[in-house]
Amino acid sequence: MKKLLLGLAIAAGVAACATTTSPTGRTQYVGAVSQDQLNQMGALAFAETKAKTPQSKDARQLTYVRCVVSALVRELPANSGQGTAWDAAVFVNDEPNAFALPGGKVGVYTGIFKAARNQDQLAAVIGHEIGHVIAHHHDERITRQMMAQGALGVAGGLVGAGYGDAAANTTTQLGSIAAQGFFLLPNSRDQETEADIVGQDLMAKAGFDPRAAVNLWQNMMGAGGNRPPQWLSTHPDPKARIGELQARANGLLPRYEQARASGRTPHCG
C-alpha cells in the first residue's frame, strides 16, 4: 500500500507538469521544478564540484574558457532565462569533458584541451553544454524521471496488492530496466542531438567556425575507447554524429560569415 500511495503521489505531482516545444520542435514534458529551483540546484552542484575537485591553477586556462563562454552567452536568446553573467571553472581531470548547469555555470575538465585544440573546437564543446541548459534538458530529465518513478510505483503497488511483495519488487526492477532502455535513454539521445544543433548554431552566431564541431568529434574518436551499443548509450553514434554536424556546418557558414563581418571575431587564444 505504501508503494502504491507513493506512486500515486508522484504521478499526481507530475500531472501538473506542462507540455512545451523544444528549440528543434520536439515535444517536451517539463515543469516538475521551477526555474528558480533549477538555478539553485545548479549553483549547489557547481559549489559541490568545486569543493570536491581540484581546480586548475593555470590562470591562462580559466581566462581562455571564460572568453569562450562570454562570447557564446552574448548570443543567447532573450527568453533563455539565463542572462549573460555566467560563471566558469576549470577542473583538474584527465577526462575530456565539460558541463553547463542552470543558473549560468560552466565547468571544463583539463582533459578536454587534448581534444579541443583551438578556440573554435572549445566553443563547440561549451556551446553543446550550454545548449542543454537553454533547451531545458535538466528540467525535462527531472520530469521524466519522476514520471517513470510514478508509473513504476503504481505498477508495483497494484501487483503487490494481488500477488505479494516479491512480485511487486520484481515488477519494479524489470520496469526500471525497461524504463531505462526504452524511455529515459532514448530521450537522452534526443537531448544530445538537440544540444548539438543548438550549440552549433550558437557558436556560428558568436563568430566561431561551426565546422570545428566536426574536427572536435574526429579528435574525440581518435582518442579511442570502448562504446556500449547505441541503444544503451546516452549519446548518438559518433560516426553518425559527425555526419550530421558536417551537414549542419555547411548550412551555418553564411551565419558564421555574417557574424565575422559584423565584428564578432573572438580572440580567446
As annotated, the active-site residues are 129
Contacts of 49 (CB under 8 A, 6+ apart): 89, 91, 107
DSSP 181: I
- Rounded to the nearest 5°, which phi and psi values hold at 266? -60, 140
Contacts of 96 (CB under 8 A, 6+ apart): 109, 111, 112, 114, 115, 116, 220, 223
What span, in angstroms and rounded, lies between the C-alpha atoms of 4 and 157? 4
Burial classification of residue 36, based on how many CB atoms lie within 10 Å of its CB (0-12 exposed, 13-18 middle, 19 or more buried): exposed
Crossing angle of helices 212-222 and 185-205, rounded to 10°: 130
Confirm if 168 and 3 have CB atoms less than 8 A apart.
Answer: yes
